[in-house]
Amino acid sequence: MKRIDVNAIPTAEELQAMFIEGACEGIAELNRQSSSARAGEQPWPDAVLIMRGIAHDIKGQGGSFGYPLVTDIGNSLSTLLKHERLLSDAGQELLSAHLEALEAIMDKAIKGDRGDLGSSYVEHLGVLVSEL
């Protein structure tokens, strides 16, 4: 029977730090993919496929680590990345707004749902995506 090394199991603080680092790297990659596709360096379908995977991971983990706004905005971003009008001017503006919001949340370590302001912002993004 294999013994488990309890020293190798990450602590809650280490898991939190790993989430933050991973989310920041993911958001940076979302920006790289978007910029690369906008510059014509790669096809949009390829960039969107990568971005959808990253958005899926971010939305799945945010709430678990005290960042429900990351989950909510990641969910809205996932919906946007499936939208047929993503490449329209309005779609591109919404993509930028989602990425900027995710960056701000992680840069400022905004935990929790931020009450009415956070809910209002997430709801507004969702309405804009649905109206696209």
pLDDT tens, position by position, 54-107 = 999 998 888 889 899 999 999 999 999 998 888 898 899 999 999 999 998 898
Q: What is the mean pLDDT of the chain?
A: 88
pLDDT > 60? residue 4? no
pLDDT > 80? residue 118? no
Determine the pLDDT at residue 53: 95
Angle subtended by helix axes 89-107 and 68-81, to nearest 10: 160
Cα–Cα distance measured from residue 54 to residue 70, given in angstroms and rounded to the nearest whole number = 12
Cα–Cα distance measured from residue 27 to residue 55, given in angstroms and rounded to the nearest whole number = 9
Report helix, strand or coil for 110.
Answer: coil
pTM listed for this prediction: 0.84
Alpha helices in 10-43 (DSSP H): 12-38
